[in-house]
Structure 1
Amino acid sequence: MQTSDMSLRERNRIDTWTAIHNAAAELALAHGWTQTTIEKISSQAGVSKRTFFNYFPSKEDAILGALEPSIPDAALEAFEHSDEDLAHRTVDLTLAVIRASYPYEEGRARRRKLMKTLPELGSRVKHLSVGVEQLVEPVVLKEMLRIAEESPKQFNQSAEDAARALTLYAHTILRFAFTKNPDAIPEQGTEAVASAITTFREVIQTSIWLT
């Protein structure tokens, strides 16, 4: 999270959010899922239960350091004005939403460890992943319809199906990049994502001729 150019109130809010997340993650690593209660998290973070729920809807989100998926304004603007093709833009947009969902980059190694050791987090991670797709897909659909109006090219399938397929394609590329390089999500992992895009394109192009 960037705290420069923020008001004191905004910085205090980020500090409280971070304190709750750190307390939750540290307790979960030390004591496991069952023993990590909202009461203990709140106590270690120095906040009330009411304050806890002002920042996180659940214990899972506090442990993960997760926010409900949203599309950053800058990411949407980049998607709409990028010179890249639509597939590449969809990957970039999806990546931006994922990054915004897990803003505490300093804790990413710890989060990976938590996801490996606490299977209870799996359903929440999956839910957040679906939330990312549900945000990205209508944006892609809108762009596809705009392109269709301006171009003589026609889709061989419905625009809705095409948008859904492209959204899933983008998410799959990012999952591949992440398995190859766990640091592919942060900003410095952009090269790993670009490499994954190239790999998928080459494999798809090659497989067309492998009959």
Structure 2
Amino acid sequence: MHTSDMSLRERNRVDTWTAIHNAAAELALEHGWTATTVDKIAAQAGVSKRTFFNYFPSKEDAILGAQDPTLPDADLAAFYASEEDLIHRTVTLTMAVMRASYPYDQNRPRRRELIKKVPELSSRMKHLAAAVEQVVEPVVRAELERIAEDSQTQFNQSTEDAAQALTLYATTIIRFAFSKNPTTLSETGTDSISSAITTFREVIQTSTWLS
């Protein structure tokens, strides 16, 4: 959503969120993890400690500009409406949930720098990745159950195991795409994702042929 489309209240909320995130990121880059405290972040952002916690549950999230993953309604509707196969749809849905974890994100290069310079952030990054999978997996499982019912087909494995495998597979494709193109998580990164999906399909086909 562009700021021009927002109400005054929403713009103020975004401005406050951005001020806290910028203060946290700048302090972490300049002074390191231990010296970056919630008190210092709030002071630099010009907000109270109470306001800080209204926007971020921890300094990790403030530094990263992150929030717990959510499933946007529009992306869920697109998942069901898409005519792509389930692998492609799962990758696309996972990407949407990942993007929702970093709202109003204008500083991806800075985040990459933060992750390199502040290793303490890695545990939160892993937690966020696991949380994304927990959001996506039930949707995939329900879709597998629907497909099985509609086609009157029984899977060789449980739909729970199949959904977990497919969700992890989607995450792996995204990680591969990101390793090739760090802008993959942006809204313009769809070509990188499509290319990564194609690469994985070709590798699997080749592996089957060589076995």
TM-based fold match above 0.5 = yes
Unpaired stretches in structure 1, ≥5 consecutive residues? none
Q: Deviations over 1:20-50 (max 9, x none)?
A: 0000001111111111111110001000000
Question: What's the C-alpha RMSD, in Å, of the aligned pairs?
Answer: 0.9
Match of residue 103 from structure 1: 103
d(CA) in 2 for partners of 1:114, 1:104: 17
Residue 153 of structure 1: how far off its partner (Å): 3.3
Say whether 1:155 aligns with 2:166: no
Unpaired stretches in structure 2, ≥5 consecutive residues? none
Structure-2 change in CA distance of 1:23 and 1:120 (3 Å): same
d(CA) in 2 for partners of 1:172, 1:69: 18
SS in 1 for 2:153: coil
What stretches of structure 1 move > 6 A for 4+ residues in a row? Answer: none
Identity of aligned residues (%): 73
d(CA) in 1 for partners of 2:210, 2:115: 38
Using the size of structure 2 for normalisation, the TM-score is 0.98
SS in 2 for 1:188: coil
Q: Which amino acid aligns with 1:83?
A: E
d(CA) in 1 for partners of 2:34, 2:187: 34
Match of residue 168 from structure 1: 168
Q: Which amino acid aligns with 1:119?
A: P
CA contact (8 A) 2:69 2:101 kept: yes
d(CA) in 1 for partners of 2:17, 2:137: 29
Q: Deviations over 1:105-135 (max 9, x none)?
A: 3110000110111110000000010000000
Aligned residue pairs, count? 211
Q: Which amino acid aligns with 1:12?
A: N
d(CA) in 2 for partners of 1:210, 1:150: 34
Q: Which amino acid aligns with 2:62?
A: A
Question: Which residues of 2 match residues 23-172 of structure 1 at below 5 A?
Answer: 23-172=23-172
SS in 2 for 1:35: coil
Say whether 1:3 aligns with 2:13: no
